[in-house]
Amino acid sequence: MRYPLGLVFDSVRHLVSRKLRADRKCPVMLSVEPLGSTCCSSADGTILSVEQCNEAIDECDAPTVLICGREPLEHPEIATITREILQRGRHLFVCTDGSLIRRHLHMIPPDTSFFWNVRLDGMGEVHDHRAQRRGLFNEAVDGIQAAKNAGFFVVVTSTIYPDTNVNDLGLLYETLHAMHVDGYVLSPHYPSEKLCRDGSARFREKMHERFREASTRVDSYNLMMSPIYLEYLRGERELDCSAWGSPVYGPHGWSEPCSKHSVRYLKSYKELIEKTVWENYGRGLNPRCESCQSYDGYESAALLGMNAKAGDLWKLLAWQFSSSMGERRNEAG
């Protein structure tokens, strides 16, 4: 299976129970940013306390939690936050640049509900250039190797840009596969600059082309993203943004409507769901959404069955069982 059985079972149980309750705004994944967003960090240095993280996780019952935003391993109480989340029975991904993994391996023992999620956008020079930090690639690879040696699950997320070299990406995955990395996620770049309508259309077409190339180049690896979302990224189908499926909580509160916009911050998850005019967001509804293909909004839509087509359920089931963590298809041994 592409994910551990426990995560799959808990996610399915969560979605079924919510559907039986006719809950149309079901959270799939909760993102917690203890130090704030990478693009909108708090100017006054405000960070989330352990208690605030616990309250957000108790308020939103998503089965999967991401600790993300500004490098979370720099939070002084990251070990306690991690343990508290796992004790609540959630599945946890800690998103990191990888440079601090080695010195934080002691914070918890390996757990089937815990993943290190390391961002790598290419091989050495390519990744260091994207991150604007020389030597980061080697630090991240060292952290990944240390985590695997210690028995942890490791997932690597790679951002796809309009100019991504997919052969470099393929070489990266070959390198990581030799290190027994468990899975991979392809994430679409979101341009920080405002694009006109024609510019957005050109940007999307370039992104569709890159994803068609990338998914072909690395399809044999354990891609931990649904085939429905990949079809959307390749420009083969449409999906409606379901950002409410992946709420974001940080030092200023719940981000409305999502991490890409942050129009305002609300005090409670209930307020976020009930007061946000979700119909104002998505392609064709908001100019700032035209260039967005985010995992938060559109993988959520795929998993929740938005814009469903005949055969989607069987496609998801076949995808889940067609690969295994750490393995590569069509490869002996």
Whether residue 327 is contained in a domain is answered as no
pLDDT in tens, 156-185: 999 999 999 999 999 999 999 999 999 999
pLDDT in tens, 237-293: 999 999 999 999 999 999 999 888 878 999 999 999 999 999 999 888 888 899 999
Give whole-number Cα distances, 117 to 48, 81, 114, 290, in Å: 20, 16, 10, 28
Q: What residue spans of the chain are helical by DSSP H?
A: 5-20, 50-59, 78-87, 101-104, 124-131, 136-149, 166-178, 197-217, 227-233, 269-275, 300-304, 312-321
Kindly report the average pLDDT of the chain as a whole number: 93
Whether residue 111 is contained in a domain is answered as yes
Whether residue 330 is contained in a domain is answered as no
Whether residue 328 is contained in a domain is answered as no
Sign of the torsion formed by the C-alpha atoms of 170, 121, 28 and 183 = positive
Query: Model confidence at 45, in pLDDT bands (50, 70, 90)?
Result: confident
Number of domains comprising the chain: 1
* Amino acid making up residue 24: R
Query: Model confidence at 333, in pLDDT bands (50, 70, 90)?
Result: very low
The domain containing residue 112 runs over which residues?
5-321
DSSP three-state, residue 194? coil
Q: Containing H/E element for 161?
A: none
Sign of the torsion formed by the C-alpha atoms of 124, 128, 134 and 140 = negative
Pairing of strands 91-96, 29-32: unpaired
Best CA proximity match to 291, nearest among 282, 300, 279: 282
Q: Which residues contact 177 (CB under 8 A, 6 or more apart)?
A: 221, 328
CATH number for the domain harbouring residue 105: 3.80.30.10
Whether residue 147 is contained in a domain is answered as yes
Whether residue 118 is contained in a domain is answered as yes
